[in-house]
Amino acid sequence: MVKYGVHLFLWAERLDRSSLHLIEKTKRFGFDGVEIPLMELELIDVAATKRELKKHGVEAVGALGLNIDTDITSDDEKVRKKGIEFMKRCVDVIAQLDGDAINGVIYTAWGKITGKRRTEEEWKRSAEALKVVCKYARDYGVNLCLEPINRFETYFLNTAEDAVKLAKDIGEQNIKVHLDTFHMNIEEKNFFKPIKLAGELLFHVHCSENDRGIPGTGHVNWDQVFEALSQIGYDRWLVIESFLPGMSKFASSAAIWRDLAPSADVIASEGLKFLRSMSSKYLVR
């Protein structure tokens, strides 16, 4: 049976002690789990976070976007090694929080645009680095999930087809695919075929409307999404992802310049209601 989650970026730019109360809020809204941003790893109080998760019966998975200093496709070997070591630290944190996945832009720097297509050398560097991290993460029961995102945020991985190809080139059992309906709406021909293509590799799904607003209020073809999920027997996370307006650190990458709904709480509550209705129609047998 699928589980429902919410990305903390809906309410906060980072997870630190001041935002730990959002774990209780997540539970109060009816979610099963929370997706925790790992970009500012040093701010996460792992022990306190684990206590809050356990106290409220909330599960956790990790969300990651590498930056230019941890870019595993970099020409600089020192930067690539730094990226590998950083991801290993992310694995340590998620494992301590009893999570089993790190999702997102883990294959290059989020927001990096070179003005040209990816190169074979960049592809090779990414695959080799992720292979190392996967082998490390395997001992902790953590999976790494490749999220293809739109062309305005990366030139490296835009479609489910490419994500599947990179996963196969990495060749580890704990490398998976993560699809996001917001990015699919831009890059894919439809919503059904990419999900079917990902198949058993699909380990995580972001349910985002075409404008990052309330799921079900835009033109994402949710019937195609849920029909495909039904056909592949998907039974993991359906996570609402939107972003707090005015995020100082990530605004340029997420391109959130206006309010997307009356409030973040409305996105969470109405979005969850919609996802439950679609699940009951397609996924509950």
For 181-219, the pLDDT digits (tens) are 999 999 999 999 999 999 999 999 999 999 999 999 999
The span from the CA of 36 to the CA of 54, in Å, is: 15
- Percentage with pLDDT > 90 across the chain: 90
Name 151's bridge partners.
none
- Percentage with pLDDT > 70 across the chain: 95
The phi, psi pair for 33, rounded to 5°, reads: -155, 175
The span from the CA of 108 to the CA of 148, in Å, is: 11
Q: Which of the residues 13, 35, 59, 147 is marked catalytic?
A: 147
User: Which pair of structure tokens corresponds to residue 132?
Assistant: 């190392």
- Per residue in 117-162, pLDDT (tens digit) is 999 999 999 999 999 999 999 999 999 999 999 999 999 999 999 9
Residues with Cβ within 8 Å of residue 269, at least 6 apart in sequence:
29
What is the reported pLDDT for 68? 97
User: Which pair of structure tokens corresponds to residue 54?
Assistant: 């356990």
Cβ atoms within 10 Å, residue 173? 8
Task: Say whether 40 is catalytic.
Answer: no
User: Of all helices (H) and strands (E), which one includes residue 4?
Assistant: strand 3-7
Position 259 confidence tier, pLDDT thresholds 50, 70, 90: confident
- Whether residue 245 contacts residue 257, with contact meaning beta carbons closer than 8 Å, is answered with yes
Q: Which of the residues 13, 35, 209, 241 is marked catalytic?
A: 241
Position 250 confidence tier, pLDDT thresholds 50, 70, 90: low
Position 249 confidence tier, pLDDT thresholds 50, 70, 90: low
The span from the CA of 15 to the CA of 49, in Å, is: 9
User: Which pair of structure tokens corresponds to residue 55?
Assistant: 């106290």
Task: Say whether 120 is catalytic.
Answer: no
Task: Report the Cα 232 to chain-centroid distance in Å.
Answer: 20
Position 243 confidence tier, pLDDT thresholds 50, 70, 90: confident
- Per residue in 262-271, pLDDT (tens digit) is 889 999 999 9
Query: What's the whole-number mean pLDDT along residues 100-125?
Result: 96
At the second CATH level, the architecture of 3-282 is Alpha-Beta Barrel (3.20)
Q: Rounded to the nearest 10 degrees, how much is the dihedral formed by the CA atoms of 59, 197, 177, 80?
A: 180
Global confidence as pTM: 0.96
User: Of all helices (H) and strands (E), which one includes residue 178?
Assistant: strand 175-180
Quickly list DSSP for 121-162.
HHHHHHHHHHHHHHHHHHTTT-EEEE----TTT-SS--SHHH
Provide the mean pLDDT of the chain.
95
Residues with Cβ within 8 Å of residue 285, at least 6 apart in sequence:
none
- Per residue in 23-35, pLDDT (tens digit) is 999 999 999 999 9
What is the reported pLDDT for 252? 59
